[in-house]
Structure 1
Amino acid sequence: MTPPDNPLHCSIGLIGYGEVGRILAEDLRAQGVTVAAYDIKLGGAAESELREHAARFGVELVSNHAALAAMSGLVISAVTASQAVAVAGSCAPGLKAGTWYLDFNSASPKAKTQAASLVTGAQGRFVEGAVMTSVPPYRIKVPLLLGGPEAGALEPLLNGLGFAAKLASDTLGVASATKMCRSIMIKGLESMVIESFTTARAYGVEDAVIASLVETFPGMEWEKLGAYFFQRVILHGRRRAEEVREVAQTVREVGLDPFSASGTAERQAQIADWADAGVFGAKSAAGFAKSGDWRIEADRILAAIKQGDPS
């Protein structure tokens, strides 16, 4: 059960039982916190995998959003960015007055505001969360910015559960804007490295390019970054593409044309299409095979292009 000194006395409900949801579930269950989850993949091809993980860690899987919301003291929404508002609407009928709702999604300030309206309309307590780096290395302690009028009250409760949450602002949208602007750079760098390194590989100049980058940016380990960026996009390009589309919308909302963000979203989606088509090897429960060498992945891309785009 949840530690008795924490007002989040009911179970924590996870909407989305993918990579992030499972990591949070594992770390919360390790503390004895009661966890339930719902994922739209229940009832599909991935159901057995979800149920195996849930059984192993003692997570209760429920049948729909509203049912999960009804049994939770804190709902954490960790879904693809495009579903953030729809999921808030699906949870709203089940929310009890005062239930916390933490939107963990990489969505635009406008989307967070729309989701908040649905939650607060059901008397829930909405807090936006902006995850500021990749979750797996940090797990539950991933740097997390909180925003909105209720954020200051939730911050100590989350940190008492092992999170590394920090109040960004009591104004809704500030935390997500910080995340979105950062993503222009981070997700853009991923796509640029894939484009640059793959093209350099095709021309046989990759060693010279990397040597030049090391000279210009000596603090960056470009070989390691190349391997990491290729693998992260191969594994999570679909989710990243959706996030960067939200980034592009964030840019549009201030009146700029999102040239960089839009191109990044297209590249991330293209890699995801190639991954689904088997360019990077067969997909398993653990994800695509990891070569550990960006050159192997670049060669696979070039071979696929030569044979005709399989996506």
Structure 2
Amino acid sequence: MARLRVAVLGLGEAGSAIAQDLLRAGAEVVGFDPVPEKTVTGLLRAQSEAEAVEGASLVLSVNWARVAREVAEKVAPVLRPGQIYADLNTASPSLKRLLAEILAPTGARFVDVALMSPVPGRGLATPSLASGPGAWAYKGGLEPLGAAVEVVGERPGEAALRKLLRSVFFKGMAAAVLEALEAAKRLGLEAEVWDNIAKTLKEADETLVGRLVEGSLRHAERRREEMLAAAELLREVGVEPLVTEATARQLGRLLGRELA
């Protein structure tokens, strides 16, 4: 049985970890990164994106969303029918659909891939969502090598939108934690607030989302006043209350809906 040949475009933290795992799993890996020093032991180093893609059954674009279109346009002239082109960058659903349109004339099958947790430490086993014309082929090619892929739709962008909706919550929560801890540090209460946050997260269960939504709707006015007071406290200790004031504005909107 012929070895799977994979092109990895982008050898940063994520790309190099995935490439290493592919090599350990027995795949033949060709890689390219515009930074010459970035490489992985055992990988065949190409001189361009186009060179890396030629002859590869599977192409993984692991760059940044801001260069995803540029990379797709560079490899489009050499892509062939039957190849699978997977974009693993965190990008908007509209950009994923645009990439699929750019590559459609080549006959290659596009896959929108959303990596759902940090790649370092997990590598190829990072939980991921996939959508698009090549999603099932992508899953079939990589799962035997250790990948964890859930197909969520046939249209490009279906995977991206699910990751970004999760990001609204998860990254927003991280921003709120950072803002609270910065103020607590300036007041000499960092360890106490840290422990309180950790305890709250540890005790969370499946009812938490419902309680958060119901509580905000029911007590929007009181909670808005509470967050305005918190914002005043943060300003007093020199912390800009970005998340806190945004929360107060959202509660104000909820209150407006209730009054309407």
The normalised TM-score by structure 1 is 0.62
1:11 aligns with 2:16: no
Which residue matches 1:197?
Answer: 181
> After the TM superposition, which residues 115-154 of structure 1 pair with which residues of structure 2 at under 5 Å, given as runs?
115-154=99-138
Alpha-carbon offset, residue 211 of structure 1: 4.1
Query: Residue by residue, what CA displacement relative to the aligned partner does 1:10-60 show, whole Å, maximum 9, x if unpaired?
Result: 520000001111111111111221101111212xxxx2xx24xx3xx2101
1:15-164 counterparts in 2 under 5 A? 15-42=9-36, 47=37, 50-51=38-39, 54=40, 57-164=41-148
- Runs of 4+ more than 6 Å apart: none
**1: CA distance, partners of 2:28 / 2:71:** 22
Q: CA deviation at 1:192?
A: 2.4
After superposition, the CA RMSD in angstroms is 2.1
Letter in 2 for 1:133: S
CA contact (8 A) 1:96 1:122 kept: yes
1: CA distance, partners of 2:102 / 2:68: 11
Identity of aligned residues (%): 30
Match of 1:223 in 2: none
Q: Which amino acid aligns with 1:12?
A: V
Q: Distance in 2 between matches of 1:62 and 1:79?
A: 16
Change (3 A) 1:35 1:208: same
Partner of 2:231: none
SS at match of 1:36: strand
CA contact under 8 A between 2:4 and 2:27: conserved in structure 1? no
Structure 2 gap ranges (5+): 205-241, 247-260
**Quick one: structure 1 residues 25 and 214, their matched pair in 2 at CA, closer, same or farther if it must change by over 3 Å?**
closer
> What is the distance in 1 between the residues matched to 2:121 and 2:203?
20
Report the residue type matching 1:59 in the other structure.
L
Q: What residue is the counterpart of 1:182 in the other structure? A: 166
Q: Deviations over 1:234-290 (max 9, x none)?
A: xxxxxxxxxxxxxxxxxxxxxxxxx97xx9xxxxxxxxxxxxxxxxxxxxxxxxxxx
Letter in 2 for 1:204: G
Letter in 1 for 2:97: T
Q: Which runs of 5+ in 1 are unaligned?
A: 221-258, 264-311
Q: Is the 8 A contact 2:112 2:160 kept in 1?
A: yes
Give the conservation status (yes or no) of the 8 Å contact 1:92–1:119.
Answer: yes
In structure 2, the residue matched to 1:293 is: none
Q: Retained in 1: the 8 A contact 2:112–2:158?
A: no
- Tell me how many residue pairs correspond in the alignment: 207
The amino acid across from 1:97 in the alignment is: P
AA in 2 matched with 1:104: L
Partner of 2:190: 206
Separation in structure 2 between the aligned mates of residue 164 and residue 27 of structure 1, nearest angstrom: 13
* 1:153-205 deviation digits (Å, cap 9, x = unpaired): 33222212221111111122111100111111222222222222122111212
Alpha-carbon distance between aligned partners in 1 of 2:78 and 2:26, rounded to the nearest angstrom: 25
CA separation of 1:199/1:29 partners in 2, compared to 1, >3 Å: closer, same or farther?
Answer: same
User: Are residues 136 and 214 of structure 1, via their aligned partners in 2, closer, same or farther at CA, if it must alter by over 3 Å?
Assistant: closer
Distance 1:25 1:204 in 2: 45
Q: Which has the larger radius of gyration?
A: 2
Secondary structure in 2 matching 1:198: helix
Query: Quick one: distance in 2 between partners of 1:111 and 1:99?
Result: 20
